Structure 1
Amino acid sequence: MKKYVQWPPNFGFKTAADHRNPSDKHFHRHPELSFQEKETAARISHELGKLGNFEIQSGIGGHGVAAVLKNGPGKSILLRADIDGLPVEEKTNVPYASKERMKDDADGVEKPTMHACGHDVHITALLMAAETLSKAQSEWKGTLILVFQPAEERAGGARAMIADGLYDKVPSPDVVVGGHVVPFREGVIGTKHGLIASAADSFDLHIEGRQAHASTPHVGIDPIVQAASTILRLQTIVSREVDPSDFGVVTVSSIHSGDAVNIIPQSADVKLNVRTGVPLTRERVLKSISRIISAEAQASNAPIEPTLTPTINFPFLYNDATVTAALEQTFAAHFGDEYSDNIPRLQGSEDFGILATAIEKPSCFFLYGGVEKGLYDKLVEEGRGNEIPGNHSPHFLPTVDSVRVGCEAYVVSALTFMGKGEEGS
């Protein structure tokens, strides 16, 4: 691995105010749901086009955007940002809070939308990194590939871009790097060897009962009671079947049944979300879910077996040892004491790794903080750390400085593999 003797002096980076924000908070104000990011993608392409030296392709896998900057012989690196928002009503009360609403194509219902996961930060940071690297081509050699990926929240965007021939449209990279803003203290950034994000499996569970008048429960079969028993029993999987030193989460995120006060409904619909950190544990948890659903149906004398339909799947995300070791050196040199080589694992899940595993290339995913220092320190000191707004919260509002950190992390990642060090490129 190339050793760097001297870094460019932060490309003039001193404070967040030193960065030109190409979006002018546009992306935060105008979030779009998964697979509907048409205007977001158009603005990204517009900002990249103003730089004048990127080959830009849009409409990949829906509204994905890819851009390539070739700067002589050398290695190639792909830097990725996700671009979709969430069906969340923003409650940050900032002047630029989202007021947008969109019809969710998942269920046809119009909903408020928000960048509640910080993808607006990712977009802006990568656009800033694009500008920085395009103006600093004397500092590196190789091929820079930028991917602005749609539909991360639905675990479909990376797969869609691959299926739509992403790597027929852009060069296959030597290394793939991505990052995510999380509810850590602003300024903090880190990497981690091995597992960096858990697998996630989501399901729709349909429970069929027998409808009856509320006054005659003996002639019906109540799907709500069956659903309630199933939900409570599912919560014992992690507490009684998963090794306490391991990791697992089983969440029931939605239940719907009936709409009249005097009717035992015909059916109940439940949504499940499962997170695991080890393949064997994942297999065991999923088997336990099926076992419990079937057993509770039998105990309830259900007329038919419930149906469990998979909906969304995020694979495990592992950081490559060699790539991570290289970034450890350069991140430590650039970010100093704010950098950790053992950052806590992402509590959520990511489809980022598919961009690498699809072509058997190594990857690394870094994490960086977005919570204002004063707020973070106050809540921690008062023992109220669980009140820190996190990803998918209507109060999650990463700071402007987190955009700077994300930008610099992208730039440092690129220079780690394409920069001119002591040995040249």
Structure 2
Amino acid sequence: MNLLDAFSIQRPLPNGESALITTSNLSSLALAEIVQEFQPNLTEYEDFYRHVHQNPELSGEESETASVVALHLRKLGFHVHTNIGGYGIAGVLQNGPGKTVLIRAELDALPILEQTGLPYKSNKRMIDRYGNERPVMHACGHDMNMAALLGAAALLKASEKRWTGTLIALFQPDEEETGGAQAMVDDGLYSKIPIPDVMLGQHVVPLKAGQVAVKSGPVLAAADSVNARIIGGPCDSINPQFCVDPISLAMRIIPQLQRYIQIGIGMKEDATVACWGFHAGIPGNDYVAYVDFLLDVKTIKPHVRQVALKLVEKKIREECRAANTPIEPVVNISVRAPLTSNDPAVTKTVRDVFHSYFGQDVVEMKVNKSCEDFSILGAIHNVPYAYWNFGGSANTEGEIATNHSPFFAPMIHPTLGAGIDAMALAVLASLAS
């Protein structure tokens, strides 16, 4: 049975009574009317966006951003939990019996020097958690994601007489380094808030502003970190300079990996290997004993992921044996972010209500090689979810700044309004499904 054939909702009449909105006009009338009637004053959320854009904070350092978010949720009437897994925020609005829906946005920014030229651009610098002074910018769009989620929370609070259930507005720290979701879960997230029946997430991207993009199944890549150490000495020679040179060996291995795994998994399969870090040598030493390097491996298909990781480790070990390194390399593999794969039923609910509201501005979401830890929030309880994109660009032709660019800054209108409406619609439809 289709969602829109099964759900009804109360719509007040001018005299204050309620009329039951039936299946025939749910998508085109009931949800649209709720959203349009209770849309918040966008000025407040424009101001929030500009403030947060101008005052970004790095991963793990989002204290001021979290405080602003928590204050706003309290003003809306949410019961707010703070400092979960760092500076994570979870606001709970219990509104009678029904489903529990969790919606999420991200708190953190990136160590990028902003070059947008906007009057509210960030000039901020911070000491990151590793002790380095860095420029800071909301180059990924988390500022817009937060503003849209708060706006949707306001809309849903204002319309609470039209729906029943529980809404959780969660603001996650440390998404950029993909540690915040697990940290919140490990810090007892579900001892503080109800376990959701559905999770919803959205992200602004350089689609045309006003568009939304959604699809079922995989939408964001799985990312694995491979930390490798190649050891060149000690060796039999009394002169350590004659041991295996781990720098030249590592520099031979790394460029071969992409081609090697592509042959191993098949040229039509999708996997990428990138070197994200390389360190060798200690000041004062006259030879290099070992090299450490970090690889980022991204895949879409679970079986390809397993094969690709095995091939990466195999190649490193084979090359070290061929070079006669005195000690086996050390290879440690860890999950940086799991595959983000939308639940078919939840996605259908979201897609249906988006089509009824946004019409031709709904497009098919493309599988993206970016990664997310959003799904970790519900993994322990197998919570189904949908994750979609909404557009923030004035146009889609020519050279367009993408997420993580120093020039990326979504246009405020109609981006903000579309993000608010999309999230509110998805929540209402999910509560009803």
1:59-74 matches, within 5 Å, as 59-74=83-98
Q: Deviations over 1:305-336 (max 9, x none)?
A: 22223455211121111111111110101111
- The Cα RMSD (Å) is 2.7
1:285 counterpart residue number: 308
1:185 counterpart residue number: 208
1:345 counterpart residue number: 367
Check whether the contact 1:22–1:124 (CA below 8 A) recurs between aligned residues: no
Check whether the contact 1:21–1:128 (CA below 8 A) recurs between aligned residues: no
Q: Which amino acid aligns with 2:126?
A: M
Q: Deviations over 1:238-266 (max 9, x none)?
A: 43223333221111122233488996533
1:42-121 matches, within 5 Å, as 42-51=67-76, 53-105=77-129, 107-121=130-144
Q: What runs of 5+ residues in structure 1 fail to find an aligned partner?
A: 380-386, 420-424
The DSSP-based 3-state class of the residue aligned with 2:185 is helix
Change (3 A) 1:16 1:268: farther
Q: Deviations over 1:149-172 (max 9, x none)?
A: 111122221111112221221122
Q: Which amino acid aligns with 1:58?
A: T
The DSSP-based 3-state class of the residue aligned with 2:48 is coil
1:265 counterpart residue number: 288
Q: Which amino acid aligns with 1:366?
A: W
Q: Which amino acid aligns with 1:415?
A: L
Q: Deviations over 1:366-396 (max 9, x none)?
A: 11222221xx22x1xxxxxxx4322222222
**1:360 maps to 2:382:** yes
Check whether the contact 1:224–1:257 (CA below 8 A) recurs between aligned residues: yes
299-308 vs 229-238, which deviates more? Answer: 299-308
Matches of 1:65 and 1:179, distance apart in 2: 17
**Runs (4+) of structure 1 moved beyond 6 Å?**
13-19, 259-262
1:118-267 matches, within 5 Å, as 118-210=141-233, 219-258=242-281, 264-267=287-290
Q: Which amino acid aligns with 1:391?
A: N
Matches of 1:143 and 1:336, distance apart in 2: 28
Measured after TM superposition, the shift of residue 297 of structure 1 is 1.5
187-196 vs 301-310, which deviates more? Answer: 301-310
Q: Deviations over 1:60-99 (max 9, x none)?
A: 1111101111222222211111111222222222222222
Measured after TM superposition, the shift of residue 220 of structure 1 is 4.1
Change (3 A) 1:253 1:128: same
The DSSP-based 3-state class of the residue aligned with 1:21 is helix
Q: Deviations over 1:3-27 (max 9, x none)?
A: 4251344426999966742515121
Matches of 2:334 and 2:56, distance apart in 1: 23
Q: Which amino acid aligns with 2:223?
A: A
Kindly, what percent of the aligned residue pairs are identical?
Answer: 37
1:408 counterpart residue number: 421
Matches of 1:303 and 1:116, distance apart in 2: 45
Measured after TM superposition, the shift of residue 113 of structure 1 is 2.0
Matches of 2:241 and 2:430, distance apart in 1: 70
1:33 counterpart residue number: 58
Check whether the contact 1:22–1:47 (CA below 8 A) recurs between aligned residues: no
60-69 vs 26-35, which deviates more? Answer: 26-35
Q: Which amino acid aligns with 1:38?
A: S
Matches of 1:13 and 1:222, distance apart in 2: 67
**1:325 maps to 2:348:** yes
2:321 counterpart residue number: 298
Change (3 A) 1:136 1:110: same
Q: Which amino acid aligns with 2:67?
A: A
Measured after TM superposition, the shift of residue 296 of structure 1 is 1.7
Check whether the contact 1:11–1:132 (CA below 8 A) recurs between aligned residues: no
Measured after TM superposition, the shift of residue 129 of structure 1 is 0.9
Matches of 1:120 and 1:323, distance apart in 2: 26
Q: Which amino acid aligns with 2:119?
A: P
Matches of 2:104 and 2:382, distance apart in 1: 16
Check whether the contact 1:211–1:222 (CA below 8 A) recurs between aligned residues: no
Matches of 1:300 and 1:114, distance apart in 2: 44
Change (3 A) 1:291 1:272: same
Check whether the contact 2:262–2:269 (CA below 8 A) recurs between aligned residues: no
Matches of 2:428 and 2:283, distance apart in 1: 62
Matches of 1:30 and 1:263, distance apart in 2: 45
Measured after TM superposition, the shift of residue 123 of structure 1 is 1.0
Matches of 1:118 and 1:203, distance apart in 2: 28
1:371 counterpart residue number: 393
Matches of 1:89 and 1:185, distance apart in 2: 25
Matches of 1:277 and 1:400, distance apart in 2: 32
Change (3 A) 1:62 1:261: closer
1:382 counterpart residue number: none
Change (3 A) 1:111 1:210: farther
14-23 vs 199-208, which deviates more? Answer: 14-23
The DSSP-based 3-state class of the residue aligned with 2:359 is helix
TM-score norm. by structure 2 comes to 0.86
Change (3 A) 1:61 1:185: same
1:390 counterpart residue number: 402
The DSSP-based 3-state class of the residue aligned with 2:408 is coil
